[in-house]
Structure 1
Amino acid sequence: MECVVSSVVAVLLLHTVSMTHAASTHSSTDHSQVVAEADALRNSGWWIWSHPATSNHCSWLGITCNEAKHVTGIRLRNYQVPIGEVSELNLSLLPSLNFLILSRMGLNGSISDQIGSLTKLTILDLSHNQLTDPIPHQIGSLTKLTHLDLSFNQLTGPIPHQIGTLTELTYLNLSSNVLTDVIPSSLGRLTKLTHLDLSFNQLTGPIPHQIGTLTELTYLPLSSNVLTDVIPSSLGRLTKLTHLDLYCNKLIGSIPHQIGSLTKLTHLDLSSNQLTGPILNQIGTLIELTYLEFSGNELTGVIPSSLGRLTKLTHLGLFYNQLNGSIPHQIGTLTELTYLHISGNELTGAMPSSLGCLTKLISLDLCKNQINGSIPPEIGNIKSLVTLDLSDNLISGEIPSSLKNLKKLGRLDLSYNRLSGNLPSFITNNCKQTTINLSQNDHLEGYAGYSICTRGHTISLTLIISLSLTLFFVTLILGFAFGLWWKKRQLQPESMAAKKNGDLFSIWDYDGRIAFEDMISATEDFDIRYCIGVGGYGSVYRAQLPSGKVVAVKKLHRSEIDEPTYLRSFKNEVQMLGQIRHRNIVKLHGYCLHNRCMFLIYMYMERGSLYCMLSDEVEAVELDWVKRVNIVKNMAHALSYMHHDCIPQSFIGTYQAITSF
């Protein structure tokens, strides 16, 4: 019996010793890991300025530890500590990390393959840095990730298909990088996603139909890429979407009727593509919309009356399409509208009096259509109007006296119409606060045909536009041309237009053959009467083509034409300028190299420059901080497009003529 008891005691003692040894070994290993993690943080050099080398790493800025002192999180934002290359932090020594947030920290270099060792990570945010090179495929090992944000960096290469293994993701933002290639279809496996942003990259190919499986999505911007093919009908299955932005791609085909199923949409932007066909009646089912933008496409047919059901709209842009018919009177039910632009179409008929119901409108632009009839006196009810542009139409009759009620009006353009009758007294009385253009209305009595009223003076059309309108946008094209000049790309011969008189002439985006002689005829051999601005490199002329379209023509000085080096570079770079498509950049339509002269042809714009607006006391007050922030954002988008999104990428010689609105 004593022998048995002794044996049991011996076994228990041996087990206790074994357990104690194992615990001691584990404790030793655990301590070594804690030390290794602290060393990894210390050796990065990111915390050396605020903490001594011997301090407890768990108390350092932005560091989170568990009870065992393992680092479970790093959260640093907005340059809280000096930081350099992301590789300075050895991620393989931090296996317990649950979140890694290093946003706006000035990080540079590439994302290390070590990222794949952080298998417990749920949040990874490296946004707003200067990270370069491709996204490592090892990121596909982070299968617990719910939030991945690598936006606003300079990452290149394709989106790794391994991201499709991150099936717990609810938020994925890769926007504002230089990512290329196609959108991987594997993203269709991320069925928990609510936010997917791939905008402002250089992604190509079609939108994969597998996107339609992401039925939890509420936010989907794919704008400012080079996406092609049609809009997939599978997008109609994303019934929880509130924001869909596909603007500034090369999408073709018609708008799929399945878009009408997205009844929770508040923001829909399909502008600056190559979409054709009509605006579908189904758009009228999207009654939650506040923002609708279809501008810069090739849409045809009439404006559907069903748009009148979108009573929450504040922004409606349909400009520069091929829409015809009249403006539906139902537009007057959109009483929340602040922005209505339908310019540059083929609209006919009279303006509906129901426009006067849009009492919150700030900007109304119906220019460059074929609208006839008279100006409805009800327009005078829109007392919030700051900009009213009805130019380049067939509007007749008198200027209604009710327009005197538009006390906030900063810009009124009724030029190039068929207005008649006496000039209302409020026109001249309003000169101190309103820029008014009534030119080219031959039967308007008491008004000099080529003048503009602005800030208490009557100034010639030549001077005012040259100082505050088109020259602003002329500089953009010239800045691009001369900035791109230094790249000296070799011109592809087949991309040039046919030669005439031994010289090159090319114009894009207009139907029919436009000859050099047409430009000479439109400007009467560049007569001074058509000159609207003079710059360091040439003069700008307003030219109305035989089709009725109006363009701006920049005729370069003779000294530039005689320079052979400049000519070669000009030919190369002007071809590249023609490929730039962005709603905040003035579009180049063509150019001419003739033995008599050389000129650029581009969209005619009548907006003043930001400099002139800020220099004017009245206009500066109206340009409130919300508008100024929007201007900065639009400029940033344009600059980002030219640096990262435009193919080929553009070197910018001057920034001063990006459109702000």
Structure 2
Amino acid sequence: MALDLDDLRLLEQFKAAVSNDTALSGWNSSNGACSFPGVDCNNGRVTSVSLISVRLNTDFSAVASTLLHLSSVEAITVRDANSSGLLRQVECGEKLSLLDLSGNYISGEVPAFINCSRLEYLDLSGNFVSGSIAVGVLLRCSSLSSLNLSGNHLVGAFPTDIAHLTPLNALNLSSNNFSGEIPGKAFVNLSKLRTLSLSFNYFNGTIPEAIIMLPELEILELSSNLLSGSIPATLCSSNTSSKLQVLYLQNNYLTGGTPEAISNCTGLVSLDLSLNFINGHIPSSIGMLTALRDLVLWQNALEGEIPESLSRMLALENLILDYNALAGSVPPSLANCTELKCMSLASNRLSGSLPTWFGQLVMLQILRLGNNSFTGPIPPDLGDCRSLLWLDLSGNQLNGQIPSELAKQSGMMTPLNFTRQFSYLRNDELRSNYECHGKGSLVDLTGIRHSDLSRMPSKDACNFTTVYLGTFHMINNYSMIFLDLSFNQLDSDIPKELGNMYYLMIMNLGYNNLSGVIPAALAGARLLAVLDLSHNVLEGPIPRSLESLSLSEINLSNNRLSWTIPQHGSLATFPSTAYENNYGLCGFPLLLCNQRVVNTQQPKSHKGQAALAGGIVAVFSLSLFVLLICVCQRKKPKAHNNANEALRLQGNLFSIWNFDGGDVYKQIVEATENFDEKYCIGTGGHGSVYEASLQTGEIFAVKKIRKTEDGSLKNEELFCREIEALVQIRHRNIVKLYGYCCTNQDKFLVYEYMDRGSLSIILMAKGSAVELDWNKRLDIAKDVVQALSYLHHDCSTPIVHRDITSNNVLIDMEFRACVSDFGLSKILSLDASSCTSRLAGTTGYLAPGEVAREIFVLFTVALQCLDPNPATRPTMQSAMQKLSAAPAAVGDFDYLHTDIMDTGTHVH
């Protein structure tokens, strides 16, 4: 039973009542049980205490000193109670068997446990416990059957004490920083162990056979470590019918083949070997695992054909084999696997025609066959997949028509409930190449660090950007949200029926031979955020009906379109590259239409069009699935337009279908404890920046605008100016604005979190400055230049930042640089009438003016001293004379046209 405490008064009463193990007199009800919330009593004695999701906001040592000295208590649960402080030692008392302190802020090392011989269940997970586990601290917990220390900051080798806890049946050390080899001898005597989770650590070496041979083992999670070698051939050989149900070895450095012995694991339900270096064929004997629900082998070096024997896995729900070298066709017998929810076979060497039996898979939600060599038509039977959420057939050799039947499943979707987590790796088209087909990849992230996605060769080659989706939870009456048929040979018209797919968010039909006109009915896909019809032979005008869509991206380039680009909605806010190479197309952002078009259509003047484009707030102009405008009190949606309510994801809070402004506001305030200073990661002239780690696992940077004491509007003007600038920008080197909130109490902006902070912080710290070698510094400079070039030349209306400093250049873990802080930026009109000569920016970063010559002289001398040829370097006496010479008038020295690398330059 939960105890809701707003302050400590009730806790003080509780402490006073139970001190010295006295009876809870006054709280006993007529039936003899005390009525104190969260406490169970037996004849007036405390037997168990349960404080869950309370807000104690106190040093836990004060609570522990009260609870842990009760000789009659058998179970103590203080979970998610916001308690902090050190727990130096635990004295369990005579009867304590359960101690759950998970989800708090307890710090320090793992405490010593005294008189804990009866303790069976210990959970310290989700705290801030750090350091190595000292020898002997757990030895007195001789009855321990469940130990959970996951989600802390523990380091060092595998704890030696665990080898002596023979009653253990569950051990969880995941999500820490343990390292070294996993000692096989530590498991020799743990014959009762059923669950072992060592995921998300830094263990290296091979997988010990002693673990594989544990007779009662049901769950083995070793994912996201540094393990190498092959999977032991003795897998599941200890019993004729193994008890192993879950085997997670993904995101390691395992080599060799998939052992035939895996067929002995007849009880296996979930198998994940992804993101390794496993080679060879998928053994046909794997079909003997008839209870298997998840077969996940993506990003390995597997070859050969997909075994027909997989059809014996009638319980199979997720078949994920992407990024291998598998060949042949899709086995027809897989039609028997009617429980399939995800079939992901992309980026292999598969060929043949697409099976018509796909339509029989009524539970299928994700079908990814992109970047293979499939031929023939797209089967209309796919429209019978009434649960289909994600269809990616890009990068094949498909021809013929786009079946109008694809829209038939709209409104037919069955309830979705994915137990695995997926991440959408979006193709960054700013730097893409023709080998990166489609809009991106859907990747199974279960048990994999986000940062380790960089190990995917395709991710680096295509410059993918991670957009986290999370676990799907949907209800009835939905349709597809992702349709990618690009890079094929389709040669039909675009079916107008695709406009019936109300919930479709991405439609990519680019790089085909599609002809005819763009159907005006496409505007019926009201949630469409990305539309790519580029590189086809489409004709006619752009339908004005598309003005009603809130698009974040459109690409109609390289077609045969004509007439005027519609000037309402978001269509006029995109760069010219979205419409280029359509020789009959005109109007902003392209060249003005000729006189004949003007007389017919009476378009606005160029100046009027520019003003209109500059005035439109491009709400959806950032990357996909990012909602920009964050209202803190959300209105109830109309009954016919309730996409946000229905498409409920437990991932990115800023995804279009998951967005709830009030919920986001609440979570940010809670994550920062109402903007407590301990979460502050930077302070500027107009506000402070806080790190907000939300419950979804996402981290954001939140800039809270400071209220001015004199009530002036300057900070509010900067707040609005930054929003106005950033909603028009989408570039990898400009910090992403995910949303903003404006209430009477708070004004803050929510940004992408950049792990390393500002360039100035990196340069001021000796260690990080040394790490920032010349190549990294050069790359950072190039990133900033690319950002400024985009602002000045590629935006629909040019933007001048006006405050580029090392404080406003942010760096992520991969040393990517992003320009931030657009509070002083200025959006220019195309006739340059808004240009100004007024100085703005940070003092010290403005143009030199009167000291330009001295700066130039200093750099010239410095470069001469670094000349590769020692003979041409100036002597120190000469260098001193040059630096000490009286400066001439600035006008007498044209430093802008002097080659400072010329060692023959003489400065007097």
If the length of structure 2 is used for normalisation, what is the TM-score?
0.48
Residue 198 of structure 1 is matched in structure 2 by 173
2:75–2:99 Cα contact (<8 Å) kept = yes
Give the secondary structure class of the aligned counterpart of 2:122.
strand
Identity percentage of aligned residues: 29
2:55–2:81 Cα contact (<8 Å) kept = no
Shift of 1:152: 2.3
1:239 corresponds to which of 212, 215, 221: 215
1:440 corresponds to which of 482, 487, 493: 487
Structure 1 residues 300 and 538, CA, compared in 2 at 3 Å: closer, same or farther?
farther
1:296-330: CA deviations, max 9, x gaps? Answer: 22222221212211111122211122222221111
Show the 5 A alignment for 1:66-145: 73-78=47-52, 84-89=58-63, 90=65, 94=69, 96-104=71-79, 106=81, 108-113=83-88, 115-116=90-91, 118=93, 121-137=96-112, 139=113, 141-145=115-119
Show the 5 A alignment for 1:510-549: none
Q: Give the residue type in structure 1 aligned to 2:283.
A: P
Show the 5 A alignment for 1:247-646: 247-261=223-237, 263-427=242-406, 433-434=479-480, 435-446=482-493, 449-450=510-511, 456=524, 459-461=531-533, 471-472=624-625, 482=754, 484-486=756-758, 488-489=761-762, 503-504=778-779, 563=804, 565=806, 569-570=810-811, 573-575=812-814
Q: In the aligned structure 2, how far is the partner of 1:305 from the partner of 1:430?
A: 34
Whether 1:180 and 2:161 are equivalent positions in the alignment is no
Shift of 1:91: 5.3
Q: Give the residue type in structure 1 aligned to 2:484.
A: N
Q: In the aligned structure 2, how far is the partner of 1:475 from the partner of 1:119?
A: 63
Q: Give the residue type in structure 2 aligned to 1:420.
A: N
Shift of 1:499: 5.1
Residue 120 of structure 2 is matched in structure 1 by 146
Structure 1 residues 561 and 322, CA, compared in 2 at 3 Å: closer, same or farther?
farther
Show the 5 A alignment for 1:51-62: 56=25, 59=28, 61=36
Q: In the aligned structure 1, how far is the partner of 2:373 from the partner of 2:773?
A: 34
Give the secondary structure class of the aligned counterpart of 2:227.
coil
Q: Give the residue type in structure 1 aligned to 2:330.
A: M
Q: In the aligned structure 2, how far is the partner of 1:536 from the partner of 1:198?
A: 48
Q: In the aligned structure 1, how far is the partner of 2:245 from the partner of 2:286?
A: 14
Gaps of 5+ in 1: 1-40, 506-515, 517-525, 527-533, 542-556, 577-590, 594-661
Q: In the aligned structure 1, how far is the partner of 2:10 from the partner of 2:410?
A: 68
1:212–1:236 Cα contact (<8 Å) kept = no
Shift of 1:66: 7.7
1:21-65: CA deviations, max 9, x gaps? Answer: xxxxxxxxxxxxxxxxxxxx9997152799999963895635677
2:69–2:91 Cα contact (<8 Å) kept = no
Q: In the aligned structure 2, how far is the partner of 1:102 from the partner of 1:337?
A: 38
Give the secondary structure class of the aligned counterpart of 2:250.
coil
Shift of 1:402: 2.8
Shift of 1:99: 2.4
Shift of 1:333: 1.5
Give the secondary structure class of the aligned counterpart of 2:234.
helix
Give the secondary structure class of the aligned counterpart of 1:330.
helix
Deviates more, 1:373-382 or 1:90-99: 90-99
1:230 corresponds to which of 206, 222, 231: 206
Q: In the aligned structure 2, how far is the partner of 1:235 from the partner of 1:63?
A: 40
Shift of 1:288: 1.0
Q: In the aligned structure 2, how far is the partner of 1:124 from the partner of 1:331?
A: 45
User: How many equivalent residue pairs?
Assistant: 492
Q: In the aligned structure 1, how far is the partner of 2:78 from the partner of 2:332?
A: 52
Give the secondary structure class of the aligned counterpart of 2:205.
coil
Shift of 1:192: 0.9
Structure 1 residues 115 and 537, CA, compared in 2 at 3 Å: closer, same or farther?
farther
Q: In the aligned structure 2, how far is the partner of 1:77 from the partner of 1:245?
A: 30
Q: In the aligned structure 2, how far is the partner of 1:311 from the partner of 1:220?
A: 24
Shift of 1:264: 0.6
Structure 1 residues 498 and 401, CA, compared in 2 at 3 Å: closer, same or farther?
farther
Q: Give the residue type in structure 2 aligned to 1:243.
A: I
If the length of structure 1 is used for normalisation, what is the TM-score?
0.64
Deviates more, 1:251-260 or 1:389-398: 251-260
Q: In the aligned structure 2, how far is the partner of 1:305 from the partner of 1:223?
A: 29
Give the secondary structure class of the aligned counterpart of 1:203.
strand
Structure 1 residues 441 and 407, CA, compared in 2 at 3 Å: closer, same or farther?
same
Structure 1 residues 119 and 402, CA, compared in 2 at 3 Å: closer, same or farther?
same
Q: Give the residue type in structure 1 aligned to 2:174.
A: S
Deviates more, 1:256-265 or 1:415-424: 256-265
Residue 216 of structure 1 is matched in structure 2 by 192
2:325–2:348 Cα contact (<8 Å) kept = yes
More helix by share: 1
Q: CA RMSD in A?
A: 4.4
Q: In the aligned structure 2, how far is the partner of 1:81 from the partner of 1:373?
A: 60
Shift of 1:260: 2.7
Q: Give the residue type in structure 1 aligned to 2:204.
A: T
1:136-190: CA deviations, max 9, x gaps? Answer: 22x1542332221222222222223321342211111112222222221221111
2:294–2:317 Cα contact (<8 Å) kept = yes
Shift of 1:374: 1.4
1:110–1:134 Cα contact (<8 Å) kept = no
Shift of 1:382: 1.1
Give the secondary structure class of the aligned counterpart of 1:87.
helix
Q: In the aligned structure 1, how far is the partner of 2:310 from the partner of 2:493?
A: 34
2:810–2:817 Cα contact (<8 Å) kept = no
Q: Give the residue type in structure 2 aligned to 1:77.
A: L
Give the secondary structure class of the aligned counterpart of 1:308.
helix
Give the secondary structure class of the aligned counterpart of 2:309.
helix
Shift of 1:359: 0.9
1:44–1:88 Cα contact (<8 Å) kept = no
Q: In the aligned structure 2, how far is the partner of 1:54 from the partner of 1:288?
A: 51
Q: In the aligned structure 2, how far is the partner of 1:240 from the partner of 1:76?
A: 31
Structure 1 residues 406 and 111, CA, compared in 2 at 3 Å: closer, same or farther?
same
1:592-624: CA deviations, max 9, x gaps? Answer: 99xxxxxxxxxxxxxxxxxxxxxxxxxxxxxxx
Shift of 1:417: 0.5
Give the secondary structure class of the aligned counterpart of 2:91.
helix
Residue 12 of structure 2 is matched in structure 1 by 45
Q: In the aligned structure 2, how far is the partner of 1:358 from the partner of 1:378?
A: 11
Shift of 1:240: 0.7
1:419–1:444 Cα contact (<8 Å) kept = no
Q: In the aligned structure 2, how far is the partner of 1:404 from the partner of 1:93?
A: 62
Structure 1 residues 399 and 227, CA, compared in 2 at 3 Å: closer, same or farther?
same
Q: In the aligned structure 1, how far is the partner of 2:264 from the partner of 2:143?
A: 33
Q: Give the residue type in structure 2 aligned to 1:485.
A: G
Q: In the aligned structure 2, how far is the partner of 1:122 from the partner of 1:174?
A: 17
Residue 841 of structure 2 is matched in structure 1 by none
Structure 1 residues 88 and 424, CA, compared in 2 at 3 Å: closer, same or farther?
closer
Q: Give the residue type in structure 2 aligned to 1:56.
A: S
Structure 1 residues 561 and 193, CA, compared in 2 at 3 Å: closer, same or farther?
farther
Gaps of 5+ in 2: 1-7, 29-33, 412-478, 495-508, 535-550, 555-619, 627-729, 737-750, 819-908
Deviates more, 1:71-80 or 1:355-364: 71-80
Q: In the aligned structure 2, how far is the partner of 1:80 from the partner of 1:499?
A: 50
Q: Give the residue type in structure 2 aligned to 1:440.
A: F
1:229-272: CA deviations, max 9, x gaps? Answer: 22211112212111111122222222222333371111111112
Residue 30 of structure 1 is matched in structure 2 by none
